[in-house]
Structure formats: structure tokens, C-alpha cells
Structure 1
């Protein structure tokens, strides 16, 4: 008989339970959000990247099983190279357990990770290895009913200090988007 030591956990990160996900998903459907790319939200993501000086930025709607980047600023491919020598495609859809935005939605407050590898809870997330993400800055945005619909976020392939200015900017952008969505409800042609 031989002793086999227990295998270390492959991933330390557990995506938090999201009790609001069903209500959020219904709300997103009613608002017509989170199912297709939107040029206005792409422009919003471009503005986030420009204001913060980030390589990539997103407007991310979080559903029950997946996340959808209805707004995306991702010039070129992600910085990592896969085993077959190709670079990962910048897709608008990720499983719910990828990335950091699901944590922001459940926490209902901003998250700043200057270097995701400094946080064992986040360092093993699939986006670190698959996409080369090393820093994250995100904030939740809400609709007029108080449901968190998703996040606005910025990511980079290098560790970086987002600082207080970055945090205040991302929180302000999230509030602006929440107000814009509320205005869309009042004036649907927007």
C-alpha cells in the first residue's frame, strides 16, 4: 500500500454565489441588454480605456451562466500565446467563473487588483493564464430598481497601480452608465 498525498486544489478561486442572478437576467432581457454588441457601449469602453490609460476596457453584463461584453475596447489580440502558438481570440462572451467581474457584482462595490498574482484568491483565475490579465479595476453599475446589471472594468497585461484616481474614475463611469441606462428606460429611442 502506498500513500498518495492529496492533490492541491487546481483553482483557489471560487466564483461567489449570486442570488440576484435570476432577477438580473430577467431585468436585462426586459431592457434588451446583454445579448449583442452595442456600438454606444463600445464607445463607452473606449472612453474608459482612454481615461484610465488601460490596454483593455469592457462594459460587462453578468447573467446566470455567462458574462457578455456588450461594450469592448480590445485593440488587437490578448497578450498571451496559447500552447499552439496562437493568441486567444478576443471574445465577447466568457463563462461566469472566468474573470473578476462576477465578484464585483456580488460584492456590489468596486474591486482594485494592482497585480492579480498578489492575491491567491484571484491568481488562479482562468483569465490570468488564458488571456494574460495581470491587473484589474472594476465597478458595478445598477439600474433604476437597484439591481446590479454588470460592471465597467479595465484590465491590463502588466501589473499597475490604478491609484485613487483610477478607482474614482471607474466608479464615476459606472454611475454614468447606470444613469444612461435609466435614461434609456425613460426615452427608449436613446
Structure 2
């Protein structure tokens, strides 16, 4: 556990909930391997965001991210054509999705450069990430992953609320898809 000075509470960290996350994911038949349905879902998220933001030509990566004990893994991934491809795994402290372990709310960053704690993240330099929208995947009371979209151009600030609504809708659709993918309920 770590101490959160803002709340004055001790909160779980990446390692504290690792075994619980692993068990919940296993119950849904997920081990971090790529899943064709989730790749398709990520593609739909990318295209949906691009259309909603009024720029179908936008290069947006989209991921269904699972938080495994020692890494993040993208069970669903959309690499936009012509963009630098993203690997299926990433260190637990890279990107913006690990923020979801510490919160249970969606996060939209219209321009990651506006927030120093996010501007220094390794993915900013590696991929040129400028915008992010993500929502946590919560099974029971545990955050097991996220659905997110990232892009190389900042989004107009007036689209922030639209992006927040859209990523929450996509998260809710993904949770339904995961329930259908759950071998225990099939």
C-alpha cells in the first residue's frame, strides 16, 4: 500500500491488487493474450472517436488494456495505418492507464502537455502522444484494466465532455462484451 497525501488514506498500489485482478481476469477467460473480438472492439473505438471528433483521418490508437501482475497487456489493440505500431505489452508505469488503478473514474486529457505529471510519461516521447481518453474496467470492486484511445494531436478542449461520454459508453459496451466472453456464464 502507499500513502496518498491528498486523501490522507492508504491506498492499494499495483502489486497489492495483482492477484485479485489475475483471478478476476481468469474467470473471464482472459490471460493477456490477444483476443480477436477485443482487437475488433479497439478498432471500433478508434473509428468512433475519430468520427465523433469530426476527423475520420485521425490517427488514433485504441486499446483494451489488462493490468497483469508485472505488466500491462493489450488484449485488444488497434494500430492505425501509417502510424508507429504499439507493442502488446507495456511496463506498468508507462502510459496513462495505470492512473486507473488509483481512481475509479474515466480520464480525458485534451492535451497531455498541459499537465506536467502526464507530459513526462515515456509514451509521450516514444509515440508522440498528445491526447488520451480512458475509462477503467471494473469487475466487482476491482479495476482490472481500461479501454482507451490515444492520439498524436491535442483534441479541442470543447470536445472534452464528448470524449468523456464516449469513452464511458465504450467502457460499458466492453463490460457487456466481457460478460459474454466469460466462460463461467457461457
Q: TM-score range by the shorter chain?
A: 0.7 to 0.9
State the match for 1:142 in structure 2. 138
State the match for 2:94 in structure 1. 98
Structure 1 position 119, deviation (Å): 0.5
Asked whether the equivalents of residues 100 and 143 of structure 2 are also in contact (C-alpha less than 8 Å), the reply is no
Q: Which stretch of the first structure deviates more once superposed, 69-78 or 110-119? A: 69-78
> Once the two structures are superposed, what CA deviation does each residue of 1:78-137 show, in whole Å capped at 9, x if it has no partner?
45xxxxxxxxx4211001011000102321111111111111111111001111111100
2:146 to 141, 146, 151: 151
User: TM-score, normalising length from structure 2?
Assistant: 0.80
Q: Where do residues 1-190 of structure 1 align in structure 2 (5 Å cutoff)?
A: 17-18=13-14, 19-53=16-50, 55-76=60-81, 78=83, 89-143=85-139, 145-161=140-156, 162-185=159-182, 186-188=184-186
- Runs of 4+ off more than 6 Å: none
Asked whether the equivalents of residues 46 and 57 of structure 1 are also in contact (C-alpha less than 8 Å), the reply is yes
- Provide the rounded CA distance (Å) in 2 between the counterparts of 1:62 and 1:56: 18
Asked whether the equivalents of residues 28 and 149 of structure 1 are also in contact (C-alpha less than 8 Å), the reply is yes
Secondary structure in 1 matching 2:69: coil
* Bigger radius of gyration: 1
User: TM-score, normalising length from structure 1?
Assistant: 0.78
Asked whether the equivalents of residues 34 and 69 of structure 1 are also in contact (C-alpha less than 8 Å), the reply is no
Q: Which stretch of the first structure deviates more once superposed, 162-171 or 117-126? A: 162-171
Runs of 5+ consecutive residues of structure 2 not aligned to the other structure: 1-11, 51-57
